[in-house]
Structure 1
Amino acid sequence: MDWRVRGIRGAITVKENTPEAIAEAVDELLDEIEAYNSLDLNEIVCVFFTATSDLNAMFPAAATRSRPGWDSVPLLDLQQMPVEGSLPRCIRVLIQFNTNLPQSAIVHCYLRQAQTLRPDWNISLTVNH
C-alpha cells in the first residue's frame, strides 16, 4: 500500500484559562491520539492547533514542545473563529502525518465537552478500550 499524508482530528475543553490547565488538556489530548493511532513522531508532517479566544494563558504548541520527541515537530497555533454559541475554552488539533493506513483506520479523539462537536467520532464508539 502506498504512503499518504493523512489527518488526525481532535479537540478538548480546558477547565480554566491557566498555563497549567492548558498544558494538562494538551497532554491528555495528545496522549489519547498517540495511544489510539500508534503515532510515529518521525512521520508527522505538521500540527495545527486552534484555541478559542478565551484561552490565552499559554500556546498549545508550547505545551506540546515539552513532550518527549515533539520538540522537532512543526507546530502552529491559530485562533478559532469566534462563532456565536460555539463551545468555550476549546482546543482543537489537526495532525498531518505520513502513513500507509487508510483514512478510515484513523481514530479521532474528542474529549471532555468537546465530544459534543463530533459525537460520531467518539472514541468509545469507534474502538474498545
Structure 2
Amino acid sequence: MKAIRGATTVAENSVEAIQEAVTELLDELEQRNQLQPTEIMSVTFSVTRDIDVIFPAAIARSRPLWDSVAMLDVQQMHVEGSLQHCIRFLIHAYLPTSTPIHHIYLRQAAKLRPDWSLPQTLQTQQQAVETKV
C-alpha cells in the first residue's frame, strides 16, 4: 500500500470553482500515477474553513468507478496566515512497492510542497546536482 498526497486551491467558494479544481486534481493524480480507482482504498479530503458549498468527495464520487472508494471530508485545522481556499487529499492505494509516486500540488498549493511540485524529471536532476555539491 502507498500513500499519495496532493492539494490545489480555488479562486472562490463556489460549486463550479471547486468542481473544476477537484476534477483537475484527480485527473492529474490518475494520469501521473497511472492510478485506477479500483486500486484506491480510501481518500481523505480536507478543506480550509473558507470552503463550504460542496464536499470534494461528492465531486469525486461522480467520476467513473470512484463511487465504491471510501471517502471522508474534513475541515483542515486553521492556522493563522496559512494558505486559504485550499483542498488537500491523502489517498491510500494498493500499488507495488516499486511503483514511483507522484504527489500532486497544483495552483497556489504548489507553494506548500515545492519539492513535490516539480516535474519528476526536474526533481531527479535537482537531487543529483545537490548530491554532487
Q: With the length of structure 1 as denominator, give the TM-score of the two structures.
A: 0.90
State the 4+ residue runs in structure 1 displaced beyond 2 angstroms: none
- Residues 27-80 of structure 1: per-residue CA shift (max 9 Å, x gap): 000000000001121121100000000000100001111111111111100000
Q: Could you tell me which of 107, 115, 119 is aligned with 2:110?
A: 115
Identity of aligned residues (%): 55
Are 1:9 and 2:5 counterparts? yes
Are 1:67 and 2:60 counterparts? no
Name the CA distance, whole Å, in 2 between partners of 1:58 and 1:127: 35
**Could you say what secondary structure the match of 1:9 adopts?**
strand
Gaps of 5+ in 2: 123-133
Which structure 2 residues correspond to residues 38-49 of structure 1 after superposition, within 5 A?
38-49=34-45
Structure 1 range deviating more: 110-119 or 63-72: 63-72
Name the CA distance, whole Å, in 2 between partners of 1:46 and 1:97: 7
AA aligned to 1:108 is H
Name the CA distance, whole Å, in 2 between partners of 1:116 and 1:109: 12
AA aligned to 1:55 is I
Q: Could you tell me which of 14, 23, 30 is aligned with 1:27?
A: 23
- Larger-Rg structure: 2
**Could you say what secondary structure the match of 2:67 adopts?**
coil
CA gap of 1:39–1:81, structure 2 versus 1, over 3 A, is same
The total of aligned residue pairs comes to: 122
Name the CA distance, whole Å, in 2 between partners of 1:19 and 1:33: 21
AA aligned to 1:120 is D
CA gap of 1:102–1:84, structure 2 versus 1, over 3 A, is farther
**Could you say what secondary structure the match of 2:94 adopts?**
strand
AA aligned to 1:107 is H
Name the CA distance, whole Å, in 1 between partners of 2:121 and 2:72: 29
AA aligned to 2:102 is V
Structure 1 range deviating more: 37-46 or 81-90: 37-46
Q: With the length of structure 2 as denominator, give the TM-score of the two structures.
A: 0.87
**Could you say what secondary structure the match of 1:71 adopts?**
helix
Are 1:100 and 2:96 counterparts? yes
